[in-house]
Amino acid sequence: METVYFIAGDGIGPEVMTVAIKVIKEALKIHNFEKKIKWQELLAGEKAFQQTGSYLPEETLKILKQARFAVKGPLTTPIGKGFRSLNVTLRQTFDLYACIRPIRYFQGISSPVKHPEKVNMIIFRENTEDVYAGIEWPANSNEAKKIISFLEKEFQINLNPSAGIGLKPMTEQGSKRLIKKAIEYALIHNKKSITLVHKGNIMKYTEGAFRDWGYKLAKQEFSNSIITEQEAKQGKQGIILKDRIADAMFQEVLLRPEEYDVIATTNLNGDYLSDALAAQVGGLGIAPGVNMGDSLALYEPTHGTAPSIAGQDKANPCSMILSMAMMLEHMGFKQVAQHIEKAIEKTILQKTVTIDLASQMKEAKVVGCKEFGDRVIANLEQ
């Protein structure tokens, strides 16, 4: 029996978590796998603070250090002040260096683009480096002034003395391990291409290095299966390794999404791109994700806490359900995961959806979070 640890989260987190677990348990039961998984709750976020005085209790960290699979709802992160992002802290504490987000279209959902059905990509976003490393100092602070003074004295770099300062560390090791995970996924799933997305034309020694390290890795470890675009034009066979400038890539995924399968990119670019792609197929409410390291995989919805609708039974549980379906596939229950995806699509086609999806569809019936989950279960059972 495998133990799955879950953190309910803040805002709408407890609502979508409850519904998602109910759906997953029913799907496992239908396939006679209900005894294969044991569920155990861990505390983090506001609930943890109320009960223990800590937003991230040591007991939670201790258990997760030994865990293989965990799921979490969205956690509150105050903007501009207060504690650091719990999401970032969890990623860095457990070295969850790969944020993996598959993005596909579900029939029945209205979209702002003409052909959302052409979108079927998976993004591998580096998760621990870049500006998300959190190395920064506020404007006019003593620390920022020291950094500015040092840069001026040692490197003749003149900055406004009142500037806030942030650093963007990126390493060969961090970039290569993320890109390697993307390449391995492409090989296992018989994908046609992998695209390195970067801003190397401007940030040559960070983003540009990410690109260069990717090509270097492919040549060193995957030369028998990975080819460049130039080699493909010459008739060589293999999975094509491409690279695209980040701003151009936003245009590419709108105009030619069918040309891209697997994307490997840096932290900030991945954040932007995964949310933009989700909008092309219906929004974050149906976008699953996982933060993965070499030992722990932490699955989570890509949306936030949505405090304005928390406790009102309005939240869309699809992202949470689909994230758990990703987990089931990772655990070896691929058939169960596919069954869940089909049940969600059938529910959407029946136009019985939560308010966020109903607002994008004609003649849709608005149902609450709980009822949507019940309708997915009904479609599972059929």
**What are 176-227's pLDDT values in tens digits?**
999 999 999 999 999 999 999 999 999 999 999 999 999 999 999 999 999 9
- How confident is residue 360, by pLDDT bands cut at 50, 70 and 90? confident
| Token couple for 193 | 């291409």
Indicate the annotated binding residues for Mg(2+).
Answer: 271
Q: Which of 38, 236, 247, 334 is catalytic?
A: 247
Tell me how far apart the alpha carbons of residues 349 and 80 are, in angstroms, rounded to a whole number.
41
Q: Give dist(CA 321, CA 18) in Å, integer.
A: 10
**pLDDT of 80 over the 50 cut:** no
What is the C-alpha separation between 31 and 16, in angstroms, rounded? Answer: 23
Mean pLDDT of the 284-294 span:
92
Q: Quickly count: other Cβ atoms within 10 Å of residue 257's Cβ.
A: 21
Binding-site residue numbers for D-threo-isocitrate are: 85, 87, 91, 101, 125
Burial 77-107 (b: 16+ CB within 10 A, else e): beeeeeeebbbbbbbbebbbbbbbbbbbbbe
- Tokens standing for 313? 């039974």
pTM: 0.91
**Directed axis angle between helix 207-221 and helix 172-188, to 10°?**
50
Average pLDDT of the residues in 71-90? 74
**What are the sequence ranges of the domains in the chain?**
1-102+284-381, 111-124+169-281, 131-167
Q: End-to-end CA distance of the chain, in Å? A: 27
Confidence at residue 362, expressed as pLDDT on a 0 to 100 scale = 84
- pLDDT tier for residue 85 given thresholds of 50, 70 and 90: confident
Q: 275 catalytic, yes or no? A: no
Q: Choose, from 243, 271, 356, 374, the residue flagged as catalytic.
A: 271
Spatial distance between the Cα atoms of 230 and 228, rounded to a whole number of angstroms: 5
Residue of 199, 242, 314, 346 marked catalytic: 199
Pull the structure tokens for residue 163: 């500037």
Q: Tell whether the model's pLDDT for residue 78 goes beyond 60.
A: no
Topology of the domain covering 111-124+169-281: Isopropylmalate Dehydrogenase (3.40.718)
Q: Mind listing the pLDDT tens digit for each residue in 28-77?
A: 999 999 889 999 999 999 999 899 988 999 999 999 999 999 999 999 86
Indicate if 111-124+169-281 has the same CATH topology as 1-102+284-381: yes
> For 1-102+284-381, CATH number?
3.40.718.10
Cβ–Cβ contacts within 10 Å for residue 171, how many? 15
Q: What is the pLDDT of residue 69?
A: 96
pLDDT(83) > 70: no
- Say how far residue 124 (Cα) sits from the centre of its chain: 8
The pLDDT of residue 325 is: 97
Q: Is 247 a catalytic residue?
A: yes
DSSP string, 163-212: --EE-----HHHHHHHHHHHHHHHHHTT-SEEEEEE-TTTSTTTHHHHHH
Cα gap 217→106, rounded to integer Å: 35
Q: Which one is predicted more confidently, 88 or 126?
A: 126
Q: What is the pLDDT of residue 133?
A: 84
Q: Which residues are annotated as a binding site?
A: 76, 85, 87, 91, 101, 125, 271, 316
Q: Is 271 a catalytic residue?
A: yes
Does the annotation mark 132 as catalytic? yes
119-155 per-position pLDDT tens digit: 999 999 999 999 988 899 999 999 999 999 999 999 9
- Quickly list DSSP for 91-107: HHHTT--EEEEEEE--T
Residue 264 contacts residue 193 (beta carbons within 8 Å): no
Tokens matching residue 148: 């500015």
C-alpha distances out from residue 133 to 165, 205, 264, Å: 13, 17, 18
Provide the b/e sequence for 190-206 (b: ≥16 CB within 10 Å): ebebbbbbbbbeebeeb
In the chain the beta strands, taken as DSSP E runs, fall at 2-7, 37-41, 69-72, 98-104, 120-126, 136-137, 165-166, 193-198, 226-228, 239-245, 262-265, 290-292, 297-299, 352-353, 365-366
Lowest mean pLDDT among 7-11, 283-287, 290-294: 283-287
pLDDT of residue 132: 84
| Span 227-283, pLDDT tens digits | 999 999 999 999 999 999 999 999 999 999 999 999 999 999 999 999 999 999 988
* pLDDT at residue number 134: 82
Per-residue model confidence as pLDDT tens digits over 311-324 = 999 999 999 999 99
Annotated active-site residue in 55, 97, 105, 132 = 132
